[in-house]
Amino acid sequence: MIIPRVPVQHRRLLPDRRLSGPTPWVIAILMTLTLLAAAAGIGLARSAGAIGDAIAGRVTVQIVTANPVTRAEQAAALRRAAAAQPYVRTARAVEQAELLATLGQWFGGEDGDDPVLKSLPLPALIDVDFVGGERAGQLDRLRALVAETAPGARIIPHAEWLGPVARLIRSLAWVAGGLVVLMILASAAVVIMTARAALGTHYATIEMLHLIGATDRQIARLFQRRIAIDTAYGIALGSAVAAAILLLIGWQWSRVTAGLAATASLGAAGWALLLALPLLAIALAALTARQTLLAALKKIL
């Protein structure tokens, strides 16, 4: 049991001074930081995963043939030929309107009616997604197909330019995970110090309880209950603050739809983990307190 059951009359053996010490507040701060770090780690890990999945098997073929008619014919032929390959999941021709809209963000005419934008010689782009398998071999076969169907076209594997970004995001996720571990260790240290301080403060009572025949377990349960409740208050407070911050960030994040930022989310499993963390923290605090108390009591005859 996380918070041990102790009869009311036994609870009175310790003076009722709940929330009087710094422990609940320190635990609240640590819990807030732990949850925020965990949320950042989960979001980053999912983002890195999403980018990895997106780029791992995707290439873009850029056909730069000067003649627009030939270019269009090559693009259509390549799309059909690629789609027929067993190692290709999808082959999609990027619409000219989509290209114009993308470039319009820089040229100032997002609806594509800018005369300068319209005059640009835009390449034909084919996005190819491979099925799972050996990438190098798939790429070699696609190169051969491109050389045959659209000579001079360039093949751009997405992993080449987005890979470092995904690796950076993954590293940041690990850093966030490390921070979570460090803050959990700090929380455990706070509980250990609290347990030792409680034993020091109530040494006379403990000595008397020992002399009238109380067992270590009876005494430890008294303190374990008190520490677990104080810690639970801190964890609840810290969790509430972290939840408010995360909901605010989530609301703001929901308006971000472009680029890498749009790939970051917590997902159902992430939220479940965040909800489980406070409960795990209470259990860890109770266990730490119990072990600390029993170890300290063993030193007293």
Catalog residues that contact other proteins under the rule CB under 8 A.
7, 9-10, 12-13, 15, 204-205, 207-216, 218, 298, 301
Q: How far is the CB of 11 from other proteins (least distance, A)?
A: 11
Q: How far is the CB of 222 from other proteins (least distance, A)?
A: 11
Helix, strand, coil in percent for the chain, rounding step 5: 70, 10, 20
Instruction: Give SS3 for 255.
Output: coil
3-state secondary structure 15-44: CCCCCCCCHHHHHHHHHHHHHHHHHHHHHH
Q: In this structure, are strands 154-157 and 58-63 parallel, antiparallel, or unpaired? A: antiparallel
Which residue lies nearer to other proteins by CB, 12 or 154? 12
Token couple for 267 = 């997902």
Q: How far is the CB of 16 from other proteins (least distance, A)?
A: 8
Q: How far is the CB of 201 from other proteins (least distance, A)?
A: 12
* Residues paired with residue 127 on neighbouring β-strands, in sequence order: 60, 92
DSSP 8-state assignment for residue 58:
E
CB atoms within 10 A of CB 269: 10
Which residue lies nearer to other proteins by CB, 60 or 218? 218
Instruction: Give SS3 for 267.
Output: helix
Q: How far is the CB of 215 from other proteins (least distance, A)?
A: 5
Token couple for 237 = 């407070």
- Residue pair 191/285 in contact (Cβ under 8 Å)? The answer is yes
Which residue lies nearer to other proteins by CB, 79 or 221? 221
Which residue lies nearer to other proteins by CB, 213 or 259? 213
Q: How far is the CB of 234 from other proteins (least distance, A)?
A: 24
CB atoms within 10 A of CB 33: 19
Which residue lies nearer to other proteins by CB, 173 or 220? 220
Which residue lies nearer to other proteins by CB, 17 or 118? 17
Which residue lies nearer to other proteins by CB, 114 or 216? 216
Residue 44 CA to residue 38 CA, distance in Å, equals 10
Q: How far is the CB of 17 from other proteins (least distance, A)?
A: 10
What is the helix (H) or strand (E) element at residue 225, kind and residue range? helix 216-253
Residue 8 CA to residue 113 CA, distance in Å, equals 79
